[in-house]
């Protein structure tokens, strides 16, 4: 058993059993396509500053180099943190959902959601047969963006067989509420 799932098991309640376990399909560094955004933004800024027709003014080459040196790391830093935790592990138990993540600082954090209290699950199918499950409701819970975790909504990111996990959770929720 791996360290993160072992860490999650210690947060289980007595008499809970594991029904499913999985991990995030999000890779370290998030979406590689996003890494091109800082370069594009820096290029547009330089063009705007170098085009007198747009009200810009000319800067010496040393100023342009300094702008690039300052802007690119800032954008890269922002994109890194927008991606959220990279190593997430998930457990669905007979009574709750547990999400464990090692954050960028190396700390282990756990979110536990009792199935009896869960009000909403949003399933977002992704390409390649994976899917994302968002637990709870919020302004973006039904949107197609990946901004849910930044708004504090617990999420299973890009898991394998999302429909099976979704139905397993719904079945367990129904069983708990019918007692």
Looking at the fold, whether 106 and 168 belong to one and the same domain comes out as yes
Supply the CATH number for residue 137's domain.
2.30.29.30
Looking at the fold, whether 146 and 95 belong to one and the same domain comes out as yes
What would the pLDDT profile of 23-75 be if each residue is shown by its tens digit? 887 654 445 555 566 667 667 766 666 655 445 555 555 666 666 667 777 76
Task: State yes or no: pLDDT of 175 exceeds 80.
Answer: yes
Mean pLDDT of 150-163: 83
Looking at the fold, whether 120 and 52 belong to one and the same domain comes out as no
Q: How confident is the model at residue 169 (pLDDT cuts 50, 70, 90)?
A: very high
Report whether 169 contacts 121 (CB < 8 A). yes
Q: Please provide the DSSP assignment of 69-121 as one string.
A: HHHHHHHHHHHHHHT--SEEEEEEESSEEEEEEE-TTS-EEEEEEEGGG---E
Burial of 126-149, coded b for 16+ CB within 10 Å and e otherwise, reads eeeebbbbbbbeeebbeeeebebb
Q: 3-state DSSP call for residue 20?
A: strand
Looking at the fold, whether 103 and 117 belong to one and the same domain comes out as yes
Say which range, 15-24, 103-112, 156-165, has the weakest mean pLDDT: 103-112
Looking at the fold, whether 104 and 166 belong to one and the same domain comes out as yes
What would the pLDDT profile of 119-152 be if each residue is shown by its tens digit? 899 999 988 889 999 998 765 544 444 444 444 7
Amino acid 119: pLDDT:
87
Looking at the fold, whether 94 and 160 belong to one and the same domain comes out as yes
Q: Which of 82, 102, 119 is the last residue of a domain?
A: 82
Looking at the fold, whether 42 and 128 belong to one and the same domain comes out as no
Classify residue 24 as exposed, middle or buried by CB count within 10 Å of its CB (0-12, 13-18, 19+): buried
Number of domains in the chain: 2
Looking at the fold, whether 109 and 173 belong to one and the same domain comes out as yes
Distance CA 163, CA 161 (A): 6
Looking at the fold, whether 100 and 154 belong to one and the same domain comes out as yes
What is the percent of the chain with per-residue pLDDT over 70, rounded to a whole number? 56
Task: State yes or no: pLDDT of 79 exceeds 50.
Answer: yes
Looking at the fold, whether 112 and 158 belong to one and the same domain comes out as yes
CA distances from 114 to 20, 67, 162 (A): 15, 49, 19
Residues of the domain holding 143: 3-28+85-177
């Amino acid at each position: 058993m791996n360290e993160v799932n072992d860490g999650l098991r210690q947060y289980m309640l007595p008499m809970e059993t594991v029904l499913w376990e999985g991990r995030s399909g999000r890779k370290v560094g998030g979406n590689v396509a996003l890494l091109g955004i800082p370069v594009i933004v820096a290029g547009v800024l330089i063009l705007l500053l170098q085009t007198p027709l747009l009200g810009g003014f000319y800067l010496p080459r040393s100023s342009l180099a300094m702008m690039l040196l300052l802007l690119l790391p800032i954008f890269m830093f922002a994109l890194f943190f927008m991606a959220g935790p990279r190593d997430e592990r998930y457990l669905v138990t007979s009574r709750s959902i547990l999400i464990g993540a090692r954050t960028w600082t190396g700390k282990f954090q756990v979110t536990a959601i009792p199935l009896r209290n869960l009000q909403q699950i949003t399933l977002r199918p992704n390409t390649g047969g994976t899917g994302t499950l968002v637990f709870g409701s919020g302004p973006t819970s039904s949107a197609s963006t990946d901004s849910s975790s930044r708004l504090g909504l617990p999420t299973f990111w890009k898991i394998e067989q999302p429909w099976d996990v979704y139905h397993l959770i719904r079945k367990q929720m129904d069983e708990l509420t019918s007692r």
